[in-house]
Amino acid sequence: MKDRFNRNITYLRISVTDRCNLRCTYCMPENGVECLTHSDLLTFEEIADFTKCAVSLGINKVRLTGGEPLVRKGITDLVRMIWNIEGVKDLSMTTNAVLLKQFAAQLKEAGLKRLNISLDTVDRDKFIQISRRDLLPDVLEGIDEAINCGFDKIKLNCVVEKNRNEPNALAVAEYAGSKELDVRFIRTMNLDTGEFWVVDGGIGGDCSICNRIRLSAKGDVLPCLFSDIGFSVREFGACEAIKMAVESKPQKGTLSRSHEFYNVGG
């Protein structure tokens, strides 16, 4: 499906939860947030039905995000349900890898193709400063397990203040090189003020070629991260909500006062 600016919308990012096992300073308050109730969250059946509808309208690439998707109970079942949808050509996940050692093999077996792993530093103290949790060893073990399980497409997402020449970013790039992994640098974004940049090493943030829509954890179809437009799947139905979202997709992002990174999946 094409939007009003002739962009081909083929990519769906699905936030499966607003919960996370980290408290990154640029994403979540220290004490966490009041999370959605279980009944607020879309069920796996609702997400799968939504994805079937999205595929029928031209989506072929799906990414699972959060919060942290691996904290959602039964996540490998959802991966299997989505990969079994005819027309899904690519299925990936963005994770902080804290639980990846436990899940990597199951996710691969269920059909997951690619992983983007959030890693802002390889220094343990700085990791604690950024994420407010002492879990870097778990993350690094998770990355090794994903490599051992044969995930061939693993990319590291490194959040930077300004650019890839910052000490943390240089160390993450060196670590990535030692593991033969790709790394992308994502400059810290601000939804309230509308500050965002094109991802260094990716295409995210380039509005001129934007091919994505999002499904939030509570079931709103969002045409753009930096906009407050959203259509409830439970109110309008999956296909109608998608069509309305694509028809109202802005030419470029401005700002959002209603979204948070942890409930729309960045």
Residues that bind ligand SF4 (CB under 6 A): 205-207, 210, 212, 224-226, 252-253
Residue 89 CB: number of other CB atoms within 10 A? 11
d(CA 205, CA 189): 10
Question: Which tokens belong to 67?
Answer: 């919060």
Decide whether 7 or 19 has the Cβ nearer to ligand SF4: 7
Closest distance of CB 227 from ligand SF4, Å: 7
Question: Which tokens belong to 35?
Answer: 């999370």
Which single residue brings its beta carbon nearest to ligand SF4?
253
* C-beta separation of 217 from 16 below 8 A: yes
Measured CA distances, 121 to 118, 160, 175, 261 (Å): 9, 10, 10, 20
Closest distance of CB 114 from ligand SF4, Å: 20
Decide whether 214 or 218 has the Cβ nearer to ligand SF4: 214
d(CA 17, CA 28): 14
* C-beta separation of 196 from 186 below 8 A: no
The edge-to-edge listing of strands for the beta sheet with 153-160 is 182-187, 153-160, 114-118, 90-95, 61-65, 11-15, 212-215, 220-222, 231-232
Closest distance of CB 130 from ligand SF4, Å: 23
Closest distance of CB 249 from ligand SF4, Å: 7
Decide whether 179 or 243 has the Cβ nearer to ligand SF4: 243
Decide whether 15 or 131 has the Cβ nearer to ligand SF4: 15
Decide whether 61 or 252 has the Cβ nearer to ligand SF4: 252
Closest distance of CB 221 from ligand SF4, Å: 13
